[in-house]
Amino acid sequence: MSDQQEYNTDRPELILKEYGRNIQKLVNYVHDIKEDEKRKEYSYTLVELMKLINPALKEGNEFNQKLWDDLFIISKFDLEVDSPYPKPSSEVLNRKPDTIGYNNHRLKYKHYGRNVELLIQKVTEIEDEQEKKDAIIFLGRLMRGFYGVWNKEVVDEEVIVNHIDELSNGALSIDVNTVKEQNLFEPSYKERPRRTGGSNTKRRGGKRRKNNN
């Protein structure tokens, strides 16, 4: 075994692992270049190389600025070069992500979800009566489907009508008897029954025979 073999435990810790050790070595090399113009030229070339390592990322100002920020981070903010973006502060490494607040909106019926409540609010703003009626029917079908998925049972149309009225604060209403008589909350598409034979065939004795009449 060669005495010059380098073990990972003996190597400097990688600052940004996604770029690998070779990029870190190149950053150290560019850092030690004495000539300003040459150091600048090599820095731009190095950024292009870093770009090739992340081909999945999209082009754009934010992406390019991130590459330059990463270059300064790998150099421990000690690289002297004029970049097209402001040099980031070392505090960026210790900055904690913004806290995401909890959703405090309390749903009346969880099985419908927040989007259905927002949709109901939009329907209340419709002025055309026929359009509003069509929207209520659509809501009824949608809510009936959600109810069935959540409760694993068939729900009576009257329950859905009452929920629409309740969630809209009385702004949306539809006659429940009309809903039941016309099956308004049923899916608009129904599978046609399969035909057992053509118009010129009959079944006799379990076999299909042509009708010559």
pLDDT tens readout for residues 113-153:
788 888 898 999 999 999 999 999 999 988 888 888 777 77
Give the range of the structural domain holding residue 23, as residue numbers without chain letter.
Answer: 11-93
| Short-list 210, 103, 124, CA closest to 167 | 124
The pLDDT tens digits of the residues spanning 183-196 come to 898 875 443 344 44
Give percent above pLDDT 70 in the chain: 72
In Å, how far from its chain's centre is CA 7? Answer: 42
The owner of tokens 């004495």 is 34
Closest CA to 179 of 145, 148, 147, 133: 133
- Is residue 5 in some structural domain? no
Q: What is the dihedral of CA 134, 137, 143, 148, to 10 degrees?
A: -140
Is residue 1 in some structural domain? Answer: no
Domain count for the chain, please give it: 2
Most confident of 4-8, 93-97, 150-154: 150-154
pTM: 0.42
Q: Indicate the pLDDT class of residue 9, thresholds 50, 70 and 90.
A: low
**Which of these three, 58, 93, 128, is where a domain ends?**
93
